[in-house]
């Protein structure tokens, strides 16, 4: 088993210490409002059980909303609550652990990073809200300043969670922190906004109507989760369709096996290193998968599918043919633009086309040069930065290859 990165170990360690201290405090002092704690614990556990494995930033929106609502709870059916921040952390930790057990036992985990984020984010909201509530220092719940306070606290909680997610992703992948944080904050506009809204509304609803408000406000979020899951399935099918189209050149014998997928994986890594956003990375990946599809229109195949060594006029013809094919498939027009512009001088290309062109040339040259092909290919690309390849893209490619995050192209 590999050892976690220092940043990951620090986040997990802080979450573990905080959770252990909260559980010990709750066991020592007892559970205040056991019915309320049980209801919110069940809500969080059910949310964790219903979590899905991909396609979204927040995999368990109902669990997140329940944890947030319990952290912001100041009353139950008109009666003030006194459970405090440590009990909030303890209840959410125990419920999240219970909800994650089936995922771990069925091999759909690991859950360590997910649990660490849940504990730390819940603790942040609870320790900001509960002490002020206990001292009576909060604005009146029927006044406008209470809503302003909740919105401000939610914004800080979202920022905290996004920063934790970006730090964990940075430790796991080695990608730049800035673009990762930007993607996390952009994702708040999706399922994150529904989580925040549900959590913020659920707590005042329970304060007025009691625990009956929990199922009432959970149903819309469950339907939202179902809609996001369907969107994720559609995106996965869409990508599989593009990947199948990309294999057409390999099946027809125009390009070596696996070439398009290697170029796509390496292009996405370079795009990450350059700081592209998640939507830009998706366009880049799709264009890289389909960058050689124009070769299907050729009467005479290019030997080994190596287009980087062709004269500029023939490169441009293949690129334009590829763009025309992509447009007929119904794929996003941005992908077609990247495919048809990959043979232009780099100063006239969009960034994604610069990346695809450089990575494709690197893969072809490294494959042809043998065991020492990687260094030789990078050197050839550096020598051609006057017109063909953007220097920043070539250096980013060199950094990605040097990190060893991807397997180098196969030779022979």
pLDDT in tens, 215-234: 888 888 778 777 777 877 78
**d(C-alpha 73, C-alpha 204), whole Å:** 7
**d(C-alpha 113, C-alpha 97), whole Å:** 12
Helix (H, G, I), strand (E, B) or coil at 286: helix
**d(C-alpha 313, C-alpha 306), whole Å:** 15
Residue with tokens 């506009």: 189
The neighbour count for residue 3, using CB atoms within 10 Å, is 7
The pLDDT of residue 253: 79
**280: phi then psi, degrees, rounded to nearest 5:** -65, -35
The pLDDT of residue 356: 93
pTM: 0.75
Q: Which residues of the chain have pLDDT under 50?
A: 1-2, 54-56, 405-412
The pLDDT of residue 409: 39
CATH class of 247-403: mainly alpha
C-alpha of 134 from chain center = 37
Identify whether the C-beta of residue 51 lies closer than 8 Å to the C-beta of residue 103: yes
**d(C-alpha 331, C-alpha 28), whole Å:** 60
Q: Which residue, among 211, 200, 43, has the nearest Cα to 129 in the 3D structure?
A: 200
Residue ranges covered by each domain of the chain: 6-234, 247-403
The pLDDT of residue 39: 93
């Amino acid at each position: 088993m590999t050892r976690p990165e220092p940043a990951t170990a620090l986040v997990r360690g802080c979450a573990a210490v905080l959770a252990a201290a909260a559980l010990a405090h709750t066991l020592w002092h007892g559970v205040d409002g056991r019915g309320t704690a049980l209801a919110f614990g069940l809500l969080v556990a059910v949310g964790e059980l219903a979590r899905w494995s991909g396609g979204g930033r927040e995999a368990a929106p109902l669990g997140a909303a329940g944890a947030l609502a319990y952290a912001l709870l100041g009353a139950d059916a008109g009666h003030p609550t006194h459970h405090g921040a440590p009990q909030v952390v303890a209840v959410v930790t125990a419920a999240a652990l219970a909800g994650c057990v089936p995922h771990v036992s069925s091999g759909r985990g690991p859950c360590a990073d997910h649990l660490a984020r849940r504990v730390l984010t819940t603790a942040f909201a609870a320790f900001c809200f509960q002490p002020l509530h206990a001292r009576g220092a909060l604005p009146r719940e029927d006044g406008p300043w209470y809503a302003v306070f909740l919105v401000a606290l939610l914004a800080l909680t979202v920022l905290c969670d996004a920063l934790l997610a970006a730090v964990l992703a940075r430790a796991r992948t080695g990608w730049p922190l800035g673009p990762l944080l930007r993607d996390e904050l952009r994702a708040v506009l999706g399922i994150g906004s529904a989580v925040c809204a549900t959590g913020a509304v659920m707590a005042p609803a329970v304060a007025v109507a009691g625990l009956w408000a929990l199922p009432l406000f959970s149903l819309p979020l469950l339907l939202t989760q179902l809609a996001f899951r369907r969107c994720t399935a559609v995106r996965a099918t869409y990508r599989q369709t593009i990947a199948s189209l990309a294999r057409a050149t390999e099946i027809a014998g125009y390009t070596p096996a696996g070439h398009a997928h290697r170029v796509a994986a390496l292009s996405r890594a370079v795009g990450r290193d350059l700081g592209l956003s998640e939507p830009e990375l998706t366009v880049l990946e799709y264009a890289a998968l389909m960058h050689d599809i124009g070769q299907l229109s050729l009467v005479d195949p290019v030997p080994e599918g190596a287009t980087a060594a062709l004269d500029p006029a023939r490169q441009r013809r293949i690129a334009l043919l590829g763009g025309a094919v992509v447009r007929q498939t119904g794929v996003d027009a941005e992908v077609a633009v990247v495919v048809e512009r990959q043979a232009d001088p780099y100063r006239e290309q969009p960034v994604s086309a610069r990346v695809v062109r450089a990575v494709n040339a690197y893969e072809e040259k490294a494959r042809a040069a043998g065991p020492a092909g990687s260094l030789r290919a990078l050197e050839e690309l550096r020598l051609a930065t006057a017109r063909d390849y953007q220097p920043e893209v070539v250096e980013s490619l060199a950094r990605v290859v040097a990190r060893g995050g991807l397997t180098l192209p196969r030779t022979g």
